[in-house]
């Protein structure tokens, strides 16, 4: 087995032998696989027998809508809106409520039937799908053949009934609600009207408006009075500056030009305050300390204010006559004297007119000053009236807008009520049943014999392939030699076929007594011997060999005895020592006495010569366990055992130590220090990988040298083992070896 090398780490190519080994690896499960295939077929058969027959129908439904047709006519301009409508309609038809109503209509559902109950007992599938912008497809699967024939039309009818019912209920509810709202709005309108009238009464808006209009000319009058006063000052300045240059007519022209533009001329009987002047009447105001003079305008002050123009024309006419008369007569002529007298009278009258005009001019200034003071006093009253009016007008406008809003709301609600009452039954679309595209009401669509048979086969094959794969996948025991070599990191030095335990135990005695032991079985232990000899140990010459296992019942003692026989068959003086002082059974395997053994030797109750026994095989001696003595296991790690072993090395060529299992016991850890190398026995298909890995790692940490592991109990009746380990099998040796095994090997 030294020819076995560690995996290189590269993926090996998939060849025919790998495929054959993979297939043969599942040989152990062939009975299970057959059972699983039968279970799959049985499941399909049971389903066919006990499953309910189902029937199926596919129907075409057309959605007639003016909106949809108009959209299609304009080149799908609103295709998204149409699709949303179709989706909404499909959701309504797929709703449990509509399906239940249709089922009740055809008599397969009662008043207390639920949608889940209908689906479980009568109709497992009732589904609608969109085909295009105007067509639906209804799929119905039922346990009743009549249901698949009646359900599509019943579904369309149920949708129409529900739609009309919902629209009628909605219309009645909406009309009632709108009517209540109209009543409420009318009430609000009446209240608003009363509020507006009450507001007009309480706020005296009309009085505020009249007051505002009465005072509205105050700012204009103030500006006008100020302008007139400024103009008066300007005329007074001109009269003073041009006193000598202006004649009577010029002065009258200036003064009359000022008084003619006045819209509020002086009237006879009006009292005007005149500061600094003396008048016929003087009044003292008790509410003020300021004294002023009041002048009553007399008729002679205002009458004939414009007669100076007539006098001026008369003067010009008289002067013209005088000029013409003077051309004819001398100055003392009576006509000339007369005209001169008339001219003097006219000039005198003009002087009087000028005096009157100057008096009126001064009185006008006093009047304007008085008027400006009066207007300035009324200006706060004007502002207050404006503010009061604006505030009341704003409140009134808001109230009026609110009234308009209520009026519009009343009008809109009235229009809605009319539209609901007259347009409530107009459907946005209608459904039309166009017939069946597929109807299976005579022969059920399920269960199908061919499909069930195929499904049963697939189920059986799936189970037959999956279950063994999982079992093998989760099997952590050691099965293949080469695979475990890569996992463990040490070589496999041989294997032992699965044989009769009595035959294996008698193998070490067979050549002596002449029993007919299969040569293949003998050759397996010879191969183990060769692997140990070829695998040198850095700790010594390989004279002391320890055989152990990870757990009990791995076949360690039997293998140890037969390996000892293999070395003795070479002519070497071989000693087999049973170091398992608890449960050692070397004496049973080799057929020796257990009266005196290793326990007696360690405790000093017997000598070495008394404990060493000669067995039936030539060149083979043994030290059995002896009687179980508590505490003797500790002596294996003492100088007593080391001294015994040194003495034995002088007498024997090969010493085989049969030690206890590694896991859970401490003796093996002590004994590996005395051995040149260790071989671990692994039971094929029984020993767990993790146990062996833990045992090897435990000994390697203590410095043990491993010859390798021995795979025990390989079943060559399995084709995979026979194929993989053909050269180990009996048929190989029976075909190539004709000589019977000799009693002694040279």
Residue-wise pLDDT tens digits, 219-248: 888 888 888 888 888 888 888 888 777 787
Is position 654 within any domain? Answer: yes
Which residues fall within 8 angstroms of residue 524, CB to CB, at 6 or more apart?
Answer: 494, 495, 496, 497, 728
Residue 697 tokens, joined: 């790692």
What's the whole-number mean pLDDT along residues 714-719? 67
Burial class (CB in 10 A: 0-12, 13-18, 19+), 152: buried
What's the whole-number mean pLDDT along residues 680-707? 86
What's the whole-number mean pLDDT along residues 553-560? 88
Q: What is the DSSP string of 247-265?
A: -HHHHHHHHHHHHHT-SS-
Residue 329 near residue 336 (C-beta atoms within 8 A) = yes
**pLDDT tens track for 118-135:** 888 888 899 888 888 788
When divided into structural domains, the chain yields a total of 1
Is position 479 within any domain? Answer: no
- Tell me the pLDDT band of 508, cut-offs 50, 70 and 90: low
Residues 11 and 732: their CA atoms lie apart, in Å, by 31
Candidate from 58-67, 393-402, 585-594, 694-703 with smallest mean pLDDT: 393-402
Terminal C-alpha separation, the chain: 22
Residue 86 near residue 104 (C-beta atoms within 8 A) = no
Is position 587 within any domain? Answer: yes
**pLDDT tens track for 271-328:** 444 443 333 333 333 433 444 444 444 545 545 446 777 888 888 888 888 888 888 8
Q: What is the pLDDT of residue 288?
A: 37
Is position 442 within any domain? Answer: no
Q: Is residue 392 scored above 80 in pLDDT?
A: no
Which residues fall within 8 angstroms of residue 480, CB to CB, at 6 or more apart?
Answer: 724
CA 396 and chain centroid, separation = 55
Instruction: Give which of 109, 63, 55 is closest to 83, Cα–Cα.
Output: 63
Residues 478 and 462: their CA atoms lie apart, in Å, by 26
pTM of the model: 0.45
CA distances from 247 to 240, 340, 401 (A): 13, 19, 68
Domain that holds residue 731: 490-499+525-735
Q: What is the DSSP string of 100-122?
A: HHHHHHTTS--TT--HHHHHHHT
- Tell me the pLDDT band of 199, cut-offs 50, 70 and 90: low
Is position 438 within any domain? Answer: no
Would you give the DSSP letter of residue 549? E
Is position 94 within any domain? Answer: no
- Evaluated on CA atoms 406, 410, 411, 416, the torsion sign reads positive
Residues 716 and 495: their CA atoms lie apart, in Å, by 11
Residue 470 near residue 687 (C-beta atoms within 8 A) = no
Most confident of 71-85, 246-260, 695-709: 695-709
At 704, which CATH number? Answer: 3.40.50.300
Instruction: Give which of 644, 610, 614 is closest to 626, Cα–Cα.
Output: 610
Is position 570 within any domain? Answer: yes
Q: What is the pLDDT of residue 574?
A: 93
CA 567 and chain centroid, separation = 75
Tokens 């039954």 appear where?
Answer: 425
Is position 284 within any domain? Answer: no
Residues 77 and 396: their CA atoms lie apart, in Å, by 50
């Amino acid at each position: 087995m030294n020819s076995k090398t560690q995996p290189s780490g590269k993926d090996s190519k998939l060849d025919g032998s790998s495929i054959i080994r993979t297939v043969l690896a599942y040989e152990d499960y062939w009975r299970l696989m057959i059972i699983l295939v039968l279970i799959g077929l049985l499941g399909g058969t049971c389903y066919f027998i006990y499953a309910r027959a189902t029937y199926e129908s596919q129907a075409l439904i057309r959605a007639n809508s003016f909106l949809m047709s108009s959209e299609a006519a304009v080149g799908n301009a609103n295709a998204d809106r149409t699709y949303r409508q179709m989706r909404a309609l499909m959701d309504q038809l797929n709703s449990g409520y509509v399906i239940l109503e249709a089922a009740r209509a055809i008599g397969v559902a009662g008043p207390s039937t639920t949608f889940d109950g209908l689906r479980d007992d009568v109709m497992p599938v009732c589904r609608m799908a969109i085909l295009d912008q105007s067509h639906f497809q209804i799929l119905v699967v039922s346990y009743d053949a009549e249901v698949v024939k009646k359900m599509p039309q019943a579904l369309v009818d149920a949708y129409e009934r529900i739609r009309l019912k919902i629209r009628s209920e909605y219309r009645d509810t909406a009309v009632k609600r709108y009517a209540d709202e109209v009543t409420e709005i009318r009430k609000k309108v009446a209240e608003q009207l009363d509020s507006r009238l009450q507001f007009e009464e309480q706020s005296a808006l009309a009085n505020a408006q009249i007051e505002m209009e009465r005072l509205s000319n105050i700012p204009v009058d103030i500006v006008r009075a100020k302008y007139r006063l400024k103009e008066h000052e300007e005329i007074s300045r001109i009269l003073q500056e041009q006193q000598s240059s202006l004649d009577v007519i010029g002065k009258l022209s200036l003064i009359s030009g000022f008084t003619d533009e006045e819209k509020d001329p002086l009237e006879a009987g009006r009292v005007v305050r005149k500061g600094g002047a003396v008048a016929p009447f003087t009044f003292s105001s008790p509410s003020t300390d300021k004294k002023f003079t009041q002048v009553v305008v007399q008729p002679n002050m205002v009458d004939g204010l414009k007669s100076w123009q007539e006098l001026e024309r008369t003067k010009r006419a008289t002067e013209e006559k005088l000029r013409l008369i003077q051309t004819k007569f001398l100055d003392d002529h009576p006509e000339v004297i007369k005209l001169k007298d008339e001219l003097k009278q006219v000039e005198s009258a003009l002087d009087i007119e000028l005096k009157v005009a100057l008096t009126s001019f001064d009185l006008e200034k006093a009047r304007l000053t008085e008027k400006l003071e009066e207007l300035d006093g009324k200006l706060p009253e004007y502002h207050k009236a404006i503010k009061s009016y604006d505030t009341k007008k704003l409140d009134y406008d808001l109230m009026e807008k609110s009234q308009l809003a209520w009026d519009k709301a009343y009008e809109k609600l009235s229009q809605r009520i009319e539209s609901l009452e007259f347009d409530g039954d107009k459907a946005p679309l209608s459904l039309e049943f166009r017939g069946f595209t597929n109807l299976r009401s005579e022969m059920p669509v399920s269960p199908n014999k061919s499909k069930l048979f195929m499904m049963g086969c697939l189920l059986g094959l799936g189970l037959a392939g999956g279950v063994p794969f999982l079992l093998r996948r989760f099997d952590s025991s050691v099965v293949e030699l080469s695979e475990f070599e890569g996992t463990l990191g040490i070589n496999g030095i041989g294997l032992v076929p699965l044989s009769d335990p009595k035959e294996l135990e008698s193998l070490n005695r067979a050549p002596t007594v002449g029993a007919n032991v299969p040569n293949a079985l003998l050759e397996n232990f010879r191969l183990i011997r060769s692997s140990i000899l070829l695998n040198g140990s850095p700790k010594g010459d390989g004279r002391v060999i320890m055989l152990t296992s990870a757990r009990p019942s791995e076949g360690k003692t039997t293998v140890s005895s037969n390996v000892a026989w293999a070395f003795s068959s070479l002519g070497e003086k071989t000693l087999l020592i049973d170091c398992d002082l608890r449960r050692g059974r070397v004496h049973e395997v080799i057929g020796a006495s257990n009266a005196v053994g290793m326990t007696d030797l360690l405790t000093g109750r017997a000598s070495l010569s008394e404990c060493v026994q000669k067995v039936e095989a030539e060149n083979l001696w043994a030290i059995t366990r002896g009687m179980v003595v508590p505490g003797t296991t500790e002596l294996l790690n003492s100088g007593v055992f080391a001294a015994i072993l040194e003495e034995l090395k002088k007498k024997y060529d090969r010493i085989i130590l049969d030690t206890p299992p590694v896991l859970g016991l401490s003796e093996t850890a002590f004994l590996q220090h005395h051995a040149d190398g260790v071989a671990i026995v692994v039971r094929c298909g029984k020993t767990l990988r993790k146990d062996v890995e833990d045992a090897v790692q435990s000994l390697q940490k203590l410095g043990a040298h491993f010859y390798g592991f021995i795979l025990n109990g390989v079943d060559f009746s399995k084709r995979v083992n026979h194929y993989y380990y053909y050269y180990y099998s009996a048929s190989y040796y029976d075909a190539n070896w004709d000589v019977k095994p000799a009693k002694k090997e040279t």
